[in-house]
Amino acid sequence: MGYKNLKVSIIGIGRVGLPLALFLENLGCKVVGIDKDSEILRDVRKKKMSFDEPGCAALLKKTKMTISPSIQSGVRGSDYIIITVGTPLYNHIESDLSYIKSVCTDLCGSLKEGQTIILRSTVAPGTTSYLKNFVEDNTSLKIGKNFGLAFCPERLAENQAIEELGLLPQIIGTEDNFSKNMTNKLFNLFGVELLFTNYLSAELIKLFNNVHRFTDFAVANQFSVIAEKYNQNIYEIINMANKNYPRGHIPSPGLTAGTCLRKDFGLLNESSSAPDLFLSAWKINEHMPFHLVNSAKKYTKIRGKTIAVLGYGFKKNSDDIRDSLVPKLLRYIEREVPKKVLLCEPNIPKKNIEGFKNTDLNSCLKKADIIFIAINHDAFNKETILGKIKKNAWCVDLWNVLGQKQLVLRYN
């Protein structure tokens, strides 16, 4: 089996799986993309990106990967089977393994000796061991003897996936030499540093990376609330605290969520009965939409006013709305019975977004009595906003994109 003849089946070709599939194909692997979502399959067949990810469109135009809705036929003859399906959280802080179980159920009738499964989804501690037990109990295969299994987390930032696949060290969690050697052979193609550990440590590394970032942002948001309580300027405080100071960096306050961060504290917390730092961080970040509305109400009434909300994706310059906090902000605004709510999301080329008309920025600025800059997209800045706001309109700018260093300011 030569390096350039490796056949890789990727289950789930969405925001995680498709960039990986295109990257592997560009390295010379034969790739099969598997997904049960007919719209995703249609778009890939048409060589059309259904989401924004720099570098992917050019690779997709020249792709020759095989596309399949069937796991059973899609993994036939593959050396590697990479699982990238979603791992959501139930409402009661419990990891949802239903997607993983469904994939495993479909796989078990098609697996052959010599293949290796690589789990790449973000999962709760112990999930890779669950997968190992499931496969061994439902097939004649034995992990480490005639079959491989590894947990190799994806740690990429959206909008940087292709770049970071060839840049970031790859964590590889295995517990036998067969799996280690097989996984090493595949990821050696990436040209990055490979870091080997066991299943559980690899799972925790990914969760610790995400929860650390989530907690950092929660600290900044809590600092913002405290500074406002004392009537002090959080933006000046953070700027001076960070300036030429070598230890620690306080991030900007802002709406912090997204499918990468919002749920992962729960994947760690489901095994604990006690309140802890991560639960507090989650509550702080979840509180920010209410805090923004409440802060605006200290200066002006929302009832009967035209409100503009700028941004809907979960983070800067992203078209990904999964687990965004903006819908929560909109619900709190609507509780105040405004006259009208306008929404502007320039990164999503849709006329309507979940019940709201996607209005152009200038129209929002001309009509709105109160403007909430929900997400710090590059499209929202001094040049595009200041000077175009309706006279005497209020602006809520948690991200300080206008550079005025005020959470709530009035434009005269």
Same domain, 178 and 245: no
Residue 178 lies inside a defined structural domain of this protein: yes
CA angle 254, 409, 356 (to 5 degrees): 60
- pLDDT tens digits along 185-215: 999 999 999 999 999 999 999 999 999 999 9
Last residue in a domain, options 197, 222, 239: 197
Predicted model pTM? 0.92
Token pair belonging to 121: 């989804």
Q: Is residue 47 part of a domain?
A: yes
If one compares 274 and 73, the residue with the highest pLDDT of the two is 73
Compute the distance between CA of residue 263 and CA of residue 410 in angstroms, rounded to an integer: 36
Residue ending a domain, among 165, 197, 229, is 197
pLDDT given at position 204: 97
Same-domain check for residues 243 and 321: yes
User: Are residue 244 and residue 124 in the same domain, yes or no?
Assistant: no
Residue 245 confidence (pLDDT) above 90:
yes
**Residue 73 belongs to a domain:** yes
Q: What angle do CA 367, 372, 375 make, to 5 degrees?
A: 125
Number of structural domains found in the chain:
2
203 is a domain residue = no
* Domain identity same for 291 and 235: yes
Cα distances (angstroms) measured from residue 171 to each of 155, 349, 385 = 9, 36, 43
How high is the pLDDT of residue 55? Answer: 95
- Of the chain, the percentage scoring pLDDT greater than 90 comes to 89
316-365 residue pLDDT tens:
999 999 999 999 999 999 999 999 999 999 999 999 999 999 999 999 99
Confidence at residue 53, expressed as pLDDT on a 0 to 100 scale: 94
> Do 72 and 107 belong to one domain?
yes
- pLDDT tens, residue by residue, 250-267: 999 999 998 878 889 889
Query: What separation in angstroms does the CA of 69 have from each of 37, 42, 75?
Result: 8, 11, 11
Residue 1 pLDDT greater than 60, yes or no:
no
108 and 215: one domain?
no
Helix orientation angle between 127-138 and 98-108, rounded to the nearest 10 degrees: 30
Which pLDDT belongs to residue 4? 64
CB 192, CB 167: distance < 8 Å? yes
Domain final position from 197, 217, 238: 197
Same domain, 98 and 152: yes
For the cut 70, the answer to whether the pLDDT of residue 110 exceeds it is yes
What is the C-alpha separation between 336 and 345, in angstroms, rounded?
Answer: 22
Q: How many CB atoms lie within 10 A of CB 293?
A: 22
CATH number at residue 279: 3.40.50.720
pLDDT-derived band of residue 3, with 50, 70 and 90 as boundaries? low
Question: Has residue 2 got a pLDDT over 80?
Answer: no
Domain region containing 361: 208-410
d(CA 68, CA 72): 10
pLDDT, tens digit (0-9, with 9 covering 90-100), for 301-324: 999 999 999 999 999 999 999 999
CA atoms of 382 and 402, how far apart (whole Å): 5
10-65 pLDDT per residue, tens: 999 999 999 999 999 999 999 999 999 999 999 999 999 999 999 999 999 999 99
Q: What is the mean pLDDT of the chain?
A: 95
CA torsion through residues 165, 169, 172, 178, sign? positive
Per the domain annotation, does 360 fall within a domain? Answer: yes
Q: Assess whether pLDDT exceeds 60 at residue 270.
A: yes
> What's the pLDDT score for residue 236?
96
The predicted-structure confidence for 144-187, as pLDDT tens digits, reads as follows 999 999 999 999 998 999 999 999 999 999 999 999 999 999 99
